[in-house]
């Protein structure tokens, strides 16, 4: 998996088992609910392909038992990735060729949902750019990863297409564009941080939501898990 190779790098022998088996855990989360479509970022597409491979392998290996149980076309659907929006892969504010990640050593590389307005503004102002103004159309972003990243973030937060954003800001210097991005990011993300603080102060409510979600998840996944054990032959019918 390219994700493991990228994250583990030269120290793959020291990487945790959690990093290594993450794609299998993701597949389990998807298949336990027999999901058909999964909204993901572009970097997760390979993990969806693994989930599809596992589902297909299971359907083929136990095809006879599955058919006898009345499941037409296999027990597990082959999940499709839903990759939508202008920012399908948000990149680091310090290096437009690397994915924005909470595991990055530099806090300046990312915007956290807990950041206040001052932190958001500081990070965007210091975000890496290039000396040229923004282009007026997407083709002008080729070879300019930092410019493409900031324009994509703006488009995603504004709910607009990248082309539409560049039509408005094409020719602008980054100093002016960054201020517009700061205003937009603060307006969209500050309420999330405020709501997080509010919820953290009400632990009883959070625990009740978690308990309710777990109960609803078990109601869906439990029968699937039992049926898989029956199909495999771990339990009798």
CA distance 197 to 84: 29
CA distance 195 to 203: 13
**Who's near 37: CB < 8 A, 6+ residues apart?**
79, 80, 81, 82
Q: Which residues pair with 38 in a beta bridge?
A: 81
Please pick, among 5, 7, 196, 229, the residue that the annotation labels catalytic. 7
What per-residue string of b and e applies to 101-125 under the rule 16 or more CB within 10 Å gives b?
eeebeeebbbbeeebeeebbbebbe
Please pick, among 99, 123, 128, 178, the residue that the annotation labels catalytic. 99
In the annotation, is 7 catalytic? yes
H helices then E strands: how many in the chain? 9, 2
Residue 38 backbone dihedrals phi, psi, to 5 degrees: -130, 120
CA 199 to centroid of chain Cα atoms: 23
In the annotation, is 57 catalytic? no
In the annotation, is 178 catalytic? no
CA distance 41 to 45: 7
Please pick, among 10, 57, 102, 128, the residue that the annotation labels catalytic. 102
Active site residues: 7, 99, 102
């Amino acid at each position: 998996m390219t994700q493991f190779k990228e994250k583990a790098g030269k120290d793959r022998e020291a990487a945790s088992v959690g990093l290594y088996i993450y794609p299998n855990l993701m597949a389990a989360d998807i298949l336990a609910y027999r999901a058909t479509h999964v909204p993901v970022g572009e970097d997760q597409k390979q993990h969806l392909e693994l989930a599809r491979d596992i589902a297909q392998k299971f359907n083929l290996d136990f095809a006879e038992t599955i058919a006898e149980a009345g499941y037409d076309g296999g027990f597990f659907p082959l999940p499709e990735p839903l990759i939508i929006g202008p920012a399908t892969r948000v990149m680091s504010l310090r290096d437009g060729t690397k994915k924005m990640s909470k595991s990055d050593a530099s806090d300046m590389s990312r915007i956290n949902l807990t950041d206040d307005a001052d932190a958001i503004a500081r990070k965007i102002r210091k975000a890496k750019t290039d000396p040229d103004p923004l282009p007026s159309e997407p083709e002008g972003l080729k070879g300019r990863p930092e410019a493409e990243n900031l324009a994509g973030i703006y488009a995603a937060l504004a709910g607009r297409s990248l082309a539409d954003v560049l039509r408005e800001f094409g020719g602008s210097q980054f100093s002016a564009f960054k201020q517009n991005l700061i205003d937009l990011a603060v307006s969209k993300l500050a309420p999330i941080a405020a709501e997080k603080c509010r919820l953290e102060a009400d632990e009883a409510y959070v625990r009740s939501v978690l308990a309710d979600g777990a109960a609803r998840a078990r109601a869906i996944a439990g029968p699937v898990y039992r049926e898989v054990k029956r199909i495999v032959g771990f339990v009798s019918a």
